[in-house]
A = this chain, B = another copy of it.
Amino acid sequence: MTVDAQILSAFRRAGPDGVSGADLATRLGISRAAVWARIEDLRKLGYDISASPHQGYRLLASPDLLHADDLLARMSGDQIIGRDIRVFEETTSTNDVAEKLARDGVKEGVVVFAESQTKGRGRMGRRWVSPSKRGLWFSILLRPPLRPQACTQMTVAAATALVRAIERQTGLKPSIKWPNDILFNGRKAAGILTELAADSDSIRHLIVGIGLDVNVAQDEFPPDVRSVATSLRAELGRPIDRPALAAVLLEELDRDYARICRGGFPALADEWEQRCLTVGQRVTVDLGVRQIEGRAESLDDDGALLLRTEHGRLERILGGDVTIVKR
């Protein structure tokens, strides 16, 4: 951890009790003047830090800002996802940055956040609008010991982790539409784009891109998606602490990633099915070349949706656009 991360971590652990400059200096092995200089820099970033002779330093408030050191300070430290965090003010697409890191041989677990994306993208080449500081737009580089066919497992894991993190931080109850949409009453609040490089036997790397509309106001969505998009803020009626949510999100994602790497996908699939709107419904799937209609029955071991057609045949659906048929 960097010095800044250690300072913020110490503040958070101490809470209202505060921590003295002398203690911090000893713990970090630097001078009290150096501690003071770091704290001045954190104040400039917007961290509200009080200092008193009796209580020492206390963190009163954090800015609405993604700061790698702060995110690291909020996490347990033994996770894979988030052991390396990089925050960009603006980028084309965080998936592009993660792809470049992958090719440079960077270890798995690195997370790339951007406060805004100029070319954010969703599934099937669709645009993903990412207004500055309104959401969590990020990508995770992973190198799972899985066959390429199992990449849907990671999409399912990410959807489940997203739902759990949102519940923990807000109390909201989102649902999942297969394979990767997070919805509130039919309106989409998050999407997941999984990209991979593989040979026919194994995944070389996999990038999970997540776009979560946290504090986006309804009029910030482009007109063409306004009626089908929502944000956590819109659902909750108040703004959400983005950095706190980001840290919880990375924790939950790390937990589910560990599960699928240990072969624990079946249990995760059960959890997913409980949150999922799609299973049990009559759906049509647009595969581009053809459409299939049937009843969504469950997930298989690769995360594929098993669809019972009207002829009684079981089809494995691994991609495509799913629409729930209204009766």
Interface residues of A (CB under 8 A from B): 123-124, 145, 147-149, 151-152, 155, 179-180, 193-202, 204, 263, 288-289, 318-320
Given contacts A147-B319, A151-B148, contact A198 B200 (CB under 8 A): no
Q: A147-B319, A149-B149, A318-B147 are in contact. Are A199 and B199 (CB under 8 A)?
A: no
- In the complex the two chains form, is B196's CB within 8 Å of A123's CB? no
- The CA of A123 and the CA of B202, in the complex, are separated in Å by 9
14 A–B contacts, CB within 8 A, in A order:
A123-B199, A147-B318, A148-B148, A148-B149, A148-B196, A151-B200, A152-B200, A193-B199, A195-B199, A196-B197, A198-B198, A200-B318, A202-B288, A202-B319
Query: Which residues does chain B contribute within 8 Å of A289, judged by CB atoms?
Result: 145, 263
**Copies assembled:** 2
Docked CA distance A196–B205 (Å): 11
A180 to B200, CA, bound (A): 10
A58 to chain B, nearest CB (A): 46
B149 A201 Cβ-Cβ under 8 A: no
Q: Are B200 and A155 in contact (CB under 8 A)?
A: yes
Q: B200 contacts A199, CB within 8 Å?
A: no
**Contact, CB under 8 Å: A201 / B320:** yes
Residues of B near A145 (CB, < 8 A) are 288-289
Within 8 Å by CB of A319, from B151, B152, B180, B200, lies: B200
Q: Closest Cβ of chain B: how far from A269's Cβ, in Å?
A: 16
Docked complex Cα distance between A145 and B288 (Å): 10
A288: which B residues are within 8 A, CB to CB? Answer: 145, 202
Known: A148-B148, A151-B148, A263-B289. A319 touches B196 (CB 8 A): no
Ranked nearest first, the 8 interchain pairs of A and B with the lowest CB-CB distance are A201-B319, A195-B199, A194-B200, A197-B197, A149-B318, A149-B149, A147-B319, A200-B319
